[in-house]
Structure 1
């Protein structure tokens, strides 16, 4: 027994030393042509060094791989590309999951991936994945984000065997970034997902007890005498649109080009000439009764791809570029605005981004939008005039991000919007820091931001924050203090809804790092926050919440939470008048979320919730349900139903020279969506998305807002009250065909129609509102787009 007691600590010590040392793998030179066929039957593979002994990343962090599902990977290289060959053993090959999906959609499949960092600096990975069905996924990855909108030109092939499956990949150097040293050392890791067990493995062990992932990568050695190629890519496109809107048909052809050019080993220029965003996903518009604009996701590839640097400081809301005009026409008593554009056309845009050997990241984004006018019509004479609502405008963002110690950074960010003529200009600067301890156990983050607006009345403001975070172990915390002045405004190129307050926030969380008898994962978190308005000292927000997140052994996940606002607060934005405010009563919210294991053919998500204020009769409830059924590996359907109902809600409705008016309303919102995907093969899919949205606000009482923030009943006729009712129905339908006919090259066909029905008459019948919106004339678009990715190196060789 004493001998065993002595041996065990030695084994544990040796294991700890092994994990602390970086794994390394030597790449061998290709001596003959490599055929990418998913078979590894070329003789060079036999002589390559083998990477093995994978370790579980999730859920049982640190557990060695099972011998029955072991993984072996080899790496070769030549003057043009790096080659990855992987044998993924599986003692039950008939159970390998291999759903066929769109590119960059992992779906319900087994996966293999390689993470490459040509500078071995722990800053950014180029990640390439292949599913067991042969679908490619690729992304640019940092510690905080994986950007799957990035698409590279590379080849891969898979084959299912009687011992598992095999992956073969060829990744050209033009798809990577690395220096021009004679002897190369790259950061390297391999990834495998055993989807049917919901287990993820890596070759170089990633300790989840540590906050950083990329600094735990292994090393790829042995590559020498290669040179970064000319990184020049042309992406010409041609699109045809048939548009039938408002009973008028229109045909349009667009031709343009995107260009990607490697200025140096590290820096890339992206440019769009004559942009075409006609096939981007539609926005999920809602009935918005808040004092703030609705924020939309960015769906345009140019503004989503490779934007990690540009998101430093959170000063960029790219939907501003090419969004709605910034002004509205001033009209006389006998004039009306007869035509107002929904958006401004983008003329061109460029991005320059990269990082020097010393860790300095530099990013520049510049975009120009065209002068845009609205039509104003004289109701007496019928004559119209054009009014500029957005002049020629230049948007510019500059980022300098200095990385050091492998895991920390200090950034300077500046945004500038310059409008032609006497229109409003804006400038925002920020200093942002993210400092981590050497062992990635603690983080000190913060910022200082300053904004200046040049308008009819100039003004400025600032914001500062300091954040201390414990990022390791079972027990973690997050403490934040923040101050924002009243004149702080970043909304010309960014988005920030509120200012003029200071706040304190604290969060504590506990998590298990390895599965237990009942749980694969488990996390408890609790947060509290208080916001105090600067000018009055009144509390504008205060909450405390608690949440449990856990996954059971069969990989069904649950979230249970509650949030309380135990004191009365004041809203300084709902009245739409500076210096005025209205009260919010104490309230509470409870919710739960269930998501069944997507490995099953039939899975379901559900989310019931309920909220209530401490004032009698003011409450609400919601229910979200989303079933999905994977009929075959090629065919998938999912649906969602989202209901929310609010009783005796109160909010702003109108104002005049004397009063600000509020109304008490019942609100109901129903949103349904059907999506479907049929994969003809791993490069060709047909996708369906249909959305119906219906929401109304039915007013019952009117109030005037007092100077102290409370409400007084206002007597009005029922006709007056009803005039404030709102009833909105929306219909969107997209049917698309996508074919990746060559690496990163695509043919897309899209049929889209949509309609909108709005009325101040509230009809509470679901069927009638559905009929109303479908009876409204549909706006229809049929478009065909071809994009072809041309690599200058391939073109030159031919």
Structure 2
């Protein structure tokens, strides 16, 4: 424990020394003065900049290279003009290029940033933290992002704006019209907005900017220049309504006798999305009966540790402006708000009895009756977010086998019934932040509530769940240094069964045998917990970065009703030091190296983990790249491995990784790499190999292929808990674990508004167990003392069951099922998307899916042939049309 303390002390001393040093920056803010077009006719958005209205303002240029050689003159220069009227902002770019034939005009879907492009960022709040970003490619592909927290870009924001581009004899031009209704700004008569423009010069993979920026800026928005001359602008309240209509047909292999699986299903649906500007600063988003049919399926994944797998949110309503509601606790995806809880798979169970010939039809997802999202930022620095959603009461239908010969032999009482599997639920999230101290600091808070109307057999769920917290960040010395922190709480209510189940869940495990600070109390009807994080560091200026901090999650913290929490009862410390090299040399463009240290404890005071890590990244002058790292873990204990049993010790581990990539600009580019891990005494290993290929033979067509293969042998994989002589017996086994997955994406763009996309992913997982053993001393240093292997005369395999005669008296003491399994999955999606007018789309979708079990003894080739190629897939055909009314 002395080593982490020493490193934290050294980093603290470095910070204290740095606090007294001024950031050395002589960069001055640039200003550009625009003007109104008055009575002049607005420009036609076609890329032709010869219209006289553009003569009302001067060009501004003198762009400066930002990467790779910061502060130098770019290879090609860029000019910019800005005009406005009562309804729109107009922007013109002229991008010089000596040989127009070298302009890269690759096509792609919206937000793909292909080829040469130019971008304007507008901080219309002038708060140094948020901005609206509009990017125009030379092929007229539009990309747009909302920037928050000074540097976080969110491409889920999809405003309506207009773009025209044109190739000219000395380069290319871009002409942009941005409706003021898509921006947020104050009512001041004379306004100043933050302004930045960036150009990507594809040939040299070079970025140049209008406002010069340090090589290592402490943020992005805070470094903008100024847009002046905005006089008499009237904020525009946004009002957009987007209804949709949908027709869907599902086909699948009919299941004989199953009344719910006759071979096909169809449905027609409609719904509505709307954006309503309550004020120019604050917007209300509404969705009624939303449909997410064109969303990609989640990638295949299997977890043997018992924890829930985290998947990213993909649904458009929840993705857009999701950063407003983020409240991360540190340590991965743990967050007070996880939007995928809304519309989740029903959590209840049915009384279906297959022995009586009964079949159940359980909904895959909970219906979202409606959702509303109120968000925005006021001129005086208040950021506000409020989300409200109601999900429906869901029922499973249960019916008898519909074959006549079966029906004749079955009782008719209660043959058809409905059973509730998810209650009517209300979700609420409120978020607020306030800037102060000349926008160098903020404080904020969050509150969440989940309220269920429980009935019948759903008492194992929490009736009510609440969480909340406060956060802050303070920057100083021109945002070079920062300190930030959060504190959070949770409170859940339910009957004794619900709270007992929560205490026993893998997130908490209060039943742990060797835990003296927690225990299961079956009389409790509530739990209260806390969490928090604190960090201090240097984020800008010079070539060094560092931070140190820690976070905690108390044993009773529970967030999984509307948030995400993997493990409670956890205390972590961490520190990192990074050296960046942003000035190119004869052999690299950019590079950085970092050392990190982290340690972990629980609330009983157990010292569970320490890890030392080194990683680096180099972008070579030929635009090849290498990403590499290594770590040493001399101490690894976990409270969760035995699922309620005592604390478990893993052997000391070392791992390393390395990935090499070719120039990503080329028509054909490749990234390949490996991750390797090895524990002492061969306790466990991990071998992972990845290959990613991108090919763009023509501007309109791009193909990407990503293949990943991994092996993870482990001599002590958890299998089962059994009773032997009144004692818990924790059974482990050696596992030969293999995973193979491949993801193929093909995108063909007829034009920027019409595209055909294909996504396909086969996923295969095999787990083959052998050499079973049981725990005798879970924290022993030596693996041979930690477990004991069964002898041949103690274990027997009989009809899929392992029978154990531990005391060798000829009587079976306990048994467990064969844990071997193979999982096979294939998901594909073919989507034709046409944005026939800005903001209005038609989708034609064909989805396929196959899910099943393979034979663990088969090769991957045999599994692919038997379980994928020769199986009948489930098909979904969908037509969806939307129309956006701008009122």
Question: Which structure 2 residues correspond to residues 253-264 of structure 1 after superposition, within 5 A?
Answer: 253-264=268-279
The CA deviation at 1:574 is 2.4
Give the Cα–Cα distance (whole angstroms) in 2 for the partners of residues 627 and 263 of structure 1: 47
- 1:419 is paired with a residue whose SS is strand
The CA deviation at 1:459 is 0.9
Give the Cα–Cα distance (whole angstroms) in 1 for the partners of residues 58 and 706 of structure 2: 49
**Among 130, 133, 141, which residue is 1:127 paired with?**
133
- What are structure 1's unaligned runs of at least 5 residues? 1-15, 793-798
Give the Cα–Cα distance (whole angstroms) in 2 for the partners of residues 400 and 113 of structure 1: 30
The CA deviation at 1:446 is 1.0
**Among 612, 615, 637, which residue is 1:570 paired with?**
637
Partner of 1:448: 487
Give the Cα–Cα distance (whole angstroms) in 1 for the partners of residues 584 and 750 of structure 2: 39
**Among 143, 146, 157, which residue is 1:150 paired with?**
157
**Among 236, 246, 251, which residue is 1:244 paired with?**
251
**Among 433, 458, 464, which residue is 2:532 paired with?**
464
The CA deviation at 1:651 is 2.2
Give deviations 1:293-343, integer Å, cap 9, x for gaps: 111111100001122211134311111111123344578998998444432
The CA deviation at 1:782 is 0.8
- 1:395 is paired with a residue whose SS is strand
Give the Cα–Cα distance (whole angstroms) in 2 for the partners of residues 613 and 506 of structure 1: 24
Give the Cα–Cα distance (whole angstroms) in 2 for the partners of residues 599 and 481 of structure 1: 39
Give deviations 1:450-509, integer Å, cap 9, x for gaps: 111102231111112211111122111110122221101111111111111222111111
**Among 314, 322, 330, which residue is 2:343 paired with?**
322
- 1:191 is paired with a residue whose SS is strand
- Cα RMSD for the two superposed structures: 2.2
Say if 2:651 and 2:681, in contact at 8 Å, map to a contact too.
yes
The CA deviation at 1:367 is 0.8
The CA deviation at 1:272 is 0.2
**Among 585, 588, 613, which residue is 1:516 paired with?**
585
Give the Cα–Cα distance (whole angstroms) in 1 for the partners of residues 453 and 225 of structure 2: 52
Partner of 1:13: none
Say if 2:767 and 2:856, in contact at 8 Å, map to a contact too.
no
**Among 64, 71, 81, which residue is 1:55 paired with?**
64
The CA deviation at 1:692 is 0.9
Question: Which structure 2 residues correspond to residues 404-443 of structure 1 after superposition, within 5 A?
Answer: 404=436, 405-421=438-454, 423-424=461-462, 425-443=464-482
- 1:205 is paired with a residue whose SS is coil
2:28 is equivalent to residue 20 of structure 1: yes
- Bigger drift between 373-382 and 443-452 goes to 373-382
Partner of 2:314: 299
The CA deviation at 1:649 is 4.7
Give deviations 1:23-67, integer Å, cap 9, x for gaps: 33333425123111101121011231222111122222222334x
The alignment of Structure 1 onto Structure 2 pairs a total of residues equal to 771
**Among 714, 731, 744, which residue is 1:674 paired with?**
744
Say if 1:462 and 1:484, in contact at 8 Å, map to a contact too.
yes
**Among 389, 393, 414, which residue is 2:425 paired with?**
393
Q: Alpha carbons of 1:617 and 1:707: their partners in 2 closer, same or farther (altered >3 Å)?
A: closer
Partner of 1:634: 700
Give the Cα–Cα distance (whole angstroms) in 2 for the partners of residues 464 and 28 of structure 1: 49
TM-score for both structures, normalised by structure 1 = 0.93
The CA deviation at 1:699 is 0.2
Say if 1:414 and 1:427, in contact at 8 Å, map to a contact too.
yes
Partner of 2:52: 43
Give the Cα–Cα distance (whole angstroms) in 2 for the partners of residues 765 and 594 of structure 1: 27
Partner of 2:873: 778
TM-score for both structures, normalised by structure 2 = 0.84
Give the Cα–Cα distance (whole angstroms) in 1 for the partners of residues 53 and 585 of structure 2: 44
**Among 278, 283, 287, which residue is 1:272 paired with?**
287
Q: Alpha carbons of 1:396 and 1:617: their partners in 2 closer, same or farther (altered >3 Å)?
A: closer
Partner of 2:331: none
2:108 is equivalent to residue 101 of structure 1: yes
- 1:79 is paired with a residue whose SS is coil
Give the Cα–Cα distance (whole angstroms) in 2 for the partners of residues 695 and 82 of structure 1: 53
Say if 2:123 and 2:221, in contact at 8 Å, map to a contact too.
no
Give the Cα–Cα distance (whole angstroms) in 2 for the partners of residues 649 and 17 of structure 1: 56
Say if 2:249 and 2:265, in contact at 8 Å, map to a contact too.
yes
Say if 2:344 and 2:366, in contact at 8 Å, map to a contact too.
yes
Say if 1:28 and 1:75, in contact at 8 Å, map to a contact too.
no
The CA deviation at 1:384 is 5.7
The CA deviation at 1:217 is 0.9
The CA deviation at 1:182 is 1.9
